[in-house]
Structure 1
Amino acid sequence: MSSLFFSAFLLLSDLSLVNAHSSDFCTNYTIAKVSSGELSLDLFEMSGLLSLGGKQLAHVQDSGNDPFLILTDRSGKVEQRIRFAEVSTDPEELARGVCPFNEGSCIYVMDTGDNFGWRGTRNIWAIEESTMKTAKPRIENLIFTFPGAERIDSEAAAVVGKTIFLFAKEKKHARVFALDLSAWKDGPKEAKQIADLPYTMLTGASATKD
């Protein structure tokens, strides 16, 4: 059976040693190979990868695949599949943060890709982590738009506090949009542009406390 070679890399840091004003600042960060193995074709064309801490990873596949959040160990062995929707269009990113409906932790599936520029609306699914081992995990969908329903390809996102930050994949710059988690309730369901960065073709993002 065909397989893909898989390597996961983890950024290891000791924040207690970091001094932003020290000439040794960069030496406090190292990249270490933490595991390797083989992935089956069940995980072909992964577009989102998220470390859940410990020994578990979460994956989501690109357009053309069934809408499952797939949990594996760090060698790539599939441990659980969670169907997050009946259908999806173009899932591109995974993020982790506080849930929009309570103070628990959620995994967010960002179905926000638009390579061909034809999507007026987008979907984000929030999956409550504490329910993922149950027969019916709590999953809530949000349908939202970019300003003026602009057809933007967004493949990078991060959750910070109660805000989702979405980055446009563009050839000359990268607009940044913010969407408040209150959108799942009665808040605005249109993302607002908050910045324009001098970077191009962004396809992944993450957020750390430092």
Structure 2
Amino acid sequence: MKLMIKIAVIMLAIIGLTTFFLRDSLFQDKPATEATTTGSRLEKITALPNEVEESSGVALLANGTILTHNDAGNKPYLYLLDAKGKLQETIKLKVPNVDWEDLAQDDDGNIYIADSGNNNNQRKELAIYKVDLAAPDQVQAIRYTYEDQTEYPPQKKDRNFDSEAIFWNNGNLYLVSKDRGQGATAKVYQLPDQPGNYKARLIGSHKIKAKITGAAINADAAQVALLSEGELHLFRDFSSVDKFYEGKYEKRELKGAGQTEGLDFIDENKLVITSEGGNLYHYTL
């Protein structure tokens, strides 16, 4: 018995010494997974005001304030928030909110409201409203249909004529489709930013297993970010904005962010994101 006790003591001593000398390798942090890495980059700033029950689009204005709106069936109002998410002003517009989905902004500060939600792919009265916030009563309408849509609605597998994502660049508006048929392809359409009636021109697509809910482009037009539920999709190193979908693509998870709907660039390294669940986030690239 005494021999066995001695052997046990010696073994415990060996294990203790081994643990001490190898402690750095045994207990160092494991490499972060993609979800862990991106989770640390996502910061919840605040809950959105009660007035913004279903934030669907967001635009960051030049003075650092945030513009957002609610989804379909809500009042045609834009909500101006400060950087911490506190409501500053409600801008009431005299146009319908059939299904407002996203916001874009041009170099002159005009805001584009995408009344482009088309869940059943049967709408023929799609519109983008151009608004000067200094004169909100003078709204201009850019009305359109998709050049490649011939059925209203098409068969379920072909229902890729909904768009919840828009951004502006160099006189053009870019709409990115939400593939409700197969959830496999984001199509990219282009429209001029002037009022009128148009056929949205299909300029390309990207195979992406996600339903896109928002879009933004950074100030120097070097990065395009798309959003889906709980995911961020980044495009860089493209030859032109018209072909951003051919650039270097990277997907990142937004762990815990829920139904993410709107985004915009704060600067080249940071995004502001809103969720339909009512939260305001920052995400560091």
Q: TM-score, normalised by structure 1?
A: 0.72
Asked if 1:56 corresponds to 2:82, the answer is no
Check 1:197–1:32 CA distance in 2 against 1; reply closer, same or farther (3 A cut): closer
Residues 12-33 of structure 1 show CA distances to partners (whole Å, capped at 9, x for unaligned) of xxxxxxxxxxxxxxxxxx9585
Whether the 8 Å contact between 1:120 and 1:149 is mirrored in structure 2 is no
Structure 2: runs of 5 or more not aligned: 1-39, 153-160, 223-285
Partner residue in 1 for 2:250: none
Q: RCO higher in 1 or 2 (8 Å CA, sep ≥ 6)?
A: 2
Higher helix share: 2
Whole-angstrom CA distance in 2 between matches of 1:107 and 1:76: 19
Check 1:144–1:85 CA distance in 2 against 1; reply closer, same or farther (3 A cut): farther
Partner residue in 1 for 2:178: 169
- Select the structure of larger CA radius of gyration: 2
Whether the 8 Å contact between 1:145 and 1:191 is mirrored in structure 2 is yes
Structure 1: runs of 5 or more not aligned: 1-29, 99-103
Q: Secondary structure at the match of 1:105?
A: coil
Q: Secondary structure at the match of 1:119?
A: coil
CA-atom RMSD in angstroms: 2.3
Misfit runs of 4+, over 6 Å = none
Amino acid at match of 1:127: V
Q: Secondary structure at the match of 2:58?
A: strand
Give aligned-pair identity as a percent: 24
Trace 1:32-181 onto structure 2 (pairs within 5 A).
33=43, 36-98=45-107, 104-129=108-133, 131=134, 137-147=137-147, 149=149, 152-170=161-179, 171-181=183-193
Whether the 8 Å contact between 1:38 and 1:75 is mirrored in structure 2 is no
Instruction: Give the stretch that moved more between structures: 144-153 or 40-49.
Output: 144-153
Whole-angstrom CA distance in 2 between matches of 1:51 and 1:139: 20
Amino acid at match of 1:195: G
Whole-angstrom CA distance in 2 between matches of 1:39 and 1:207: 23
Check 1:90–1:117 CA distance in 2 against 1; reply closer, same or farther (3 A cut): same
Q: TM-score, normalised by structure 2?
A: 0.54
Report how many aligned residue pairs link the two structures: 168
